[in-house]
Amino acid sequence: MRKLMVSMAVLGLALVLCNLAMAANTAQQTVTFEVSAINEISASGNPGPLVVDAATAGSQPVADADNTTTWAVTTNGSNKKMTGAINTNMPANTTLQVNLGAPTGGSSSGNVTLSATAANLVTGISTVVQSGMSITYTLSATVAAGVVSQAQKTVTLTLTDGP
């Protein structure tokens, strides 16, 4: 009987110690979070000069192109598009076109003539992180353009809501 009492006492003490070991203080915190809209683009510098300076007899001048620059995009949005415009329209009988490679899931509009009015260059851009996409500029002129002195145009690329 004495052994039983000692065993019960040891068992009771073990249960009390076990409860003490499991008793803990707790604290709670509320973490506030959000993920904002991210719509970032960049271009890799400026293309080289575009010069129309040759033609085959009986034909319009040969266009000049440059594909040495690239662009990148990071967006967590959906159904975005890239538009492009130049600060002022081109001189008469000259055309500046741009062709942007599309990111995964997007669709390029191909060669687009730039003007002071924004035009769609790439559509269907959604939740993507991609870089190294091509930019090709093409300058063309007809003989009616005559001689056009060297000038510059500022091309503005804008990532905006689609379609």
pLDDT at 73: 98
| Domain-located, residue 15 | no
pLDDT, tens digit, 9 for 90 and up, residues 54-70: 999 999 999 999 999 99
| Domain-located, residue 17 | no
pLDDT at 3: 72
| Domain-located, residue 43 | yes
Query: Do residues 85 and 114 touch, judged by C-beta distance below 8 A?
Result: yes
Query: What is the DSSP-derived secondary structure letter of residue 111?
Result: S
CATH of the domain at 156: 2.60.40
> Which residue range is the domain that position 110 belongs to?
39-161
Query: Does 149 score more than 60 pLDDT?
Result: yes
| Domain-located, residue 54 | yes
pLDDT, tens digit, 9 for 90 and up, residues 85-134: 999 999 999 999 999 999 999 999 999 999 999 999 999 999 999 999 99
pLDDT, tens digit, 9 for 90 and up, residues 3-20: 766 666 666 666 655 555
Least confidently predicted of 20-24, 31-35, 155-159: 20-24
| Domain-located, residue 13 | no
Output the 3-class SS for 7-72.
Answer: HHHHHHHHHHHHHHHHCCCCCCCCCCCCCCCCEEEEECCCCCCCCCCCECCCCCECCEEEEEEEEE
Provide the number of structural domains found in the chain.
1
| Domain-located, residue 8 | no
| Domain-located, residue 128 | yes
pLDDT, tens digit, 9 for 90 and up, residues 69-92: 999 999 999 999 999 999 999 999
Rounded to an integer, the average pLDDT of 154-158 is 98
Q: Tokens 């190294």: give the residue.
A: 132
| Domain-located, residue 18 | no
